[in-house]
C-alpha cells in the first residue's frame, strides 16, 4: 500500500506537469487566500468581489485531492495518480469537500457557541460574577475560583482536542465514501462512514498517511522559502490521500485487490459496468470510482449494442462531453481520423468528447 501510494505520481503520464502545476496552484492558494481574508476582515468588504479569484486555487487543490482519493479507492486497477486537468470539476469537488468538512465540524462549533453563550450570560447576566466568585471562594477556599476556572478550561480543551482528533480520523473516511460514490450525502451517512473508519485496512492507510504527512512536512518546511518545498508539500499530500483512498477502498471492497464497493451486497448490474450494489435505503450502493477525465473510469452504456460512454463520478453520471480527455490536454495524444467510429464522431475514442465533423465530411465540402 505504501509503495503504491509513494510511486503513484511517478507512474502517471505527466508526473512533472502534475507536480509543477500542483506546486504553483498550492503556492497561489497559500498566498491569495490569507491576503483575501485579511482584506475582507481588516480593510474593506469590497474585497469580497475578489472571492472567486482568491478561493479558486484553494478549491482546485482540494478538488484534486478528492480526485486522488477517488482514483486510489480503485487502486486494484489503477497504480498511477490522476491528471491535474478539468479544473471546473476540481472546483466543484473542492467545494463539496469544504462542505463535508464544515458539516463534520458543525457539532463542535455549536458546542463552543453554547460555552461562549453561557460564559457571556454569567458575565453580563442578572447574577453578578463577583457574588458567584465569592460563593465559590467561601465553599472551596481562597483558590476556589481559580481552580474551578482551570478545571472548566481543561475540560473544554480536552473535549475540543478529542473532537478534533476524531475529526482527523473520520474525515478522510468520509471523503473516500463521498469520492467513491460521487454523492455528498453518502459522505455524511454515519453508518457508511463509521463502517469504513472502523476497519483495519482503513486504520492502516490512515496511520501510514499521517506518518507520510509528518515526515514529508518536516522535509518540505525548510525548503518552502525556496519554492521547491511547496511542490514537495503538494506531493506529500497526494501520497497521504492516496493512502487514505487505498485503505478505504480495501475496506469498502471487503478485501485487497477487489475493486468493488460493498456494504450491503446485492445483485450487480450487467448493463452498466462500474455501477455498485445496493446503496442504503434507496437500493443503490457506492458507485465505483469514476475518472472520466482520465479515461479509466466506469462507463454508462448508450444501449445494449452501443459502445459505452465514460462518466464522471460526482456529477450524477452525466456523459463527459464538455472538454477533451486528459491525454489530449497534457499533449500526450492528438486525435486522427482513425480514432473515429463508424458514425463519424470521435466521442468513443476520446473519452466522450465530441470533436465535430472531420475535414472530409460532407458538411465541410463546398
252 and 261 in contact (C-beta within 8 Å)?
Answer: yes
Cα–Cα distances in Å, from 194 out to 187, 245, 279, 295?
Answer: 10, 15, 15, 31
Going from N- to C-terminal start, the domains of the chain cover: 2-253, 290-358
Query: 199-229: buried (b, 16+ CB within 10 Å) or exposed (e) per residue?
Result: bebbebbbebbbebbeebbeebeeebeeeeb
What is the structure's pLDDT at 120? 81
According to the model, what pLDDT value does residue 175 have? 95
Confidence of residue 345 (pLDDT cuts 50, 70, 90): very low
Name the least confident of 72-86, 120-134, 194-208: 120-134
Residue 91's pLDDT is 93
* Percent of the residues in the chain that have a pLDDT greater than 70, as a whole number: 64
List Cα–Cα distances, 222 to 217, 226, 239, in angstroms.
9, 8, 19
The helix-helix angle for 200-220 and 190-197 (nearest 10°) equals: 80
Say whether pLDDT at 348 is over 70.
no
Question: Looking at per-residue confidence, does 343 or 132 come out higher?
Answer: 132
Q: Is the pLDDT of residue 283 over 50?
A: no
**R_g over Cα of the chain:** 25
For 252-263, letters b (16+ CB in 10 Å) and e give: bbeeeeebbbbb
Q: Given this model, what pLDDT does residue 205 score?
A: 92
Which DSSP helix (H) or strand (E) runs through 99?
helix 87-124
Q: Work out the mean pLDDT of the chain and round it to a whole number.
A: 74
**The length of the chain, given as a count of residues:** 366
pLDDT tier for residue 208 given thresholds of 50, 70 and 90? very high
- Angle of CA points 181, 182, 183, to nearest 5°: 90
pLDDT at residue 14, as a whole number: 82
How far is it, in rounded angstroms, from Cα 16 to Cα 19?
Answer: 5
pLDDT of 290 strictly over 50? no
User: How far, in whole angstroms, is CA 278 from its chain's centroid?
Assistant: 23
User: What are phi and psi for residue 279, nearest 5 degrees?
Assistant: -120, 110
Assign 251 a pLDDT band (cuts: 50, 70, 90): confident
Query: What's the pLDDT band for 159 if we cut at 50, 70, 90?
Result: very high
With cell 479569484, the residue in question is 53
CB distance 3 to 9 below 8 Å: no
Phi-psi region of 82 (alpha: psi -120 to 50; beta: other; left: phi over 0): beta
Of the candidates 256, 251, 79, 234, the residue with the CA atom closest to the CA atom of residue 176 = 251
The C-alpha cell at 27 is 503556492
Confidence of residue 151 (pLDDT cuts 50, 70, 90): confident
DSSP 286: P
The pLDDT score that the predictor gives to residue 279 is 41
**CB within 8 Å of 13: residues ≥ 6 apart:** 80, 83, 326, 327, 330, 332
Read off the C-alpha cell for 334: 492528438
Structure confidence at residue 254 (pLDDT): 61
* Range with the largest mean pLDDT of 18-22, 42-46, 162-166: 162-166
User: Which residues neighbour 160 within 8 Å (Cβ) at sequence distance 6 or greater?
Assistant: 108, 112
The closest of 71, 300, 284 to 176, measured between CA atoms, is 71
d(CA 246, CA 233): 20
Rounded mean pLDDT, 246-258: 71
Task: Please give the grid coordinates belonging to residue 20.
Answer: 509543477
Amino acid at each position: 500500500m505504501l509503495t503504491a501510494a509513494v510511486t503513484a505520481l511517478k507512474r502517471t503520464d505527466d508526473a512533472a506537469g502534475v507536480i509543477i502545476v500542483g506546486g504553483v496552484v498550492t503556492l497561489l492558494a497559500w498566498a491569495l487566500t490569507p491576503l483575501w481574508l485579511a482584506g475582507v476582515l481588516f480593510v474593506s468588504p469590497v474585497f469580497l468581489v475578489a472571492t472567486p479569484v482568491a478561493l479558486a486555487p484553494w478549491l482546485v487543490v482540494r478538488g484534486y485531492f478528492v480526485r486522488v482519493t477517488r482514483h486510489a479507492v480503485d487502486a486494484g486497477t489503477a497504480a498511477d495518480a490522476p491528471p491535474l486537468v478539468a479544473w471546473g470539476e476540481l472546483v466543484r469537488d473542492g467545494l463539496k469537500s469544504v462542505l463535508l468538512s464544515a458539516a463534520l465540524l458543525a457539532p463542535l462549533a455549536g458546542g463552543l457557541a453554547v460555552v461562549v453563550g453561557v460564559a457571556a450570560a454569567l458575565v453580563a447576566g442578572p447574577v453578578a460574577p463577583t457574588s458567584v466568585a465569592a460563593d465559590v471562594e467561601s465553599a472551596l477556599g481562597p483558590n476556589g475560583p481559580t481552580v474551578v476556572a482551570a478545571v472548566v478550561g481543561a475540560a473544554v480543551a480536552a473535549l475540543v482536542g478529542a473532537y478534533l482528533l476524531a475529526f482527523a480520523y473520520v474525515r478522510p473516511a468520509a471523503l473516500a465514501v463521498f469520492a467513491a460514490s460521487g454523492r455528498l450525502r453518502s459522505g455524511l451517512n454515519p453508518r457508511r462512514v463509521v463502517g469504513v473508519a472502523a476497519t483495519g485496512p482503513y486504520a492502516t492507510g490512515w496511520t501510514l498517511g499521517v506518518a507520510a504527512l509528518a515526515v514529508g512536512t518536516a522535509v518540505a518546511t525548510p525548503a518552502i522559502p525556496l519554492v521547491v518545498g511547496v511542490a514537495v508539500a503538494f506531493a506529500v499530500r497526494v501520497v497521504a490521500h492516496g493512502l487514505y483512498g487505498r485503505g478505504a477502498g480495501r475496506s469498502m471492497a471487503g478485501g485487497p485487490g477487489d475493486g468493488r464497493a460493498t456494504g450491503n451486497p446485492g445483485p450487480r448490474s450487467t448493463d452498466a459496468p462500474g455501477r455498485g450494489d445496493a446503496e442504503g435505503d434507496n437500493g443503490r450502493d457506492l458507485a465505483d470510482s469514476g475518472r472520466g477525465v482520465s479515461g479509466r473510469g466506469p462507463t454508462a452504456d448508450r444501449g445494449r449494442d452501443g459502445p459505452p460512454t465514460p462518466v464522471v463520478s460526482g456529477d450524477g453520471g452525466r456523459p463527459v462531453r464538455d472538454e477533451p480527455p486528459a491525454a489530449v490536454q497534457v499533449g500526450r495524444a492528438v486525435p486522427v481520423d482513425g480514432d473515429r467510429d463508424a458514425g463519424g464522431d470521435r466521442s468513443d475514442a476520446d473519452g466522450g468528447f465530441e470533436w465535430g465533423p472531420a475535414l472530409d465530411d460532407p458538411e465541410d465540402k463546398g
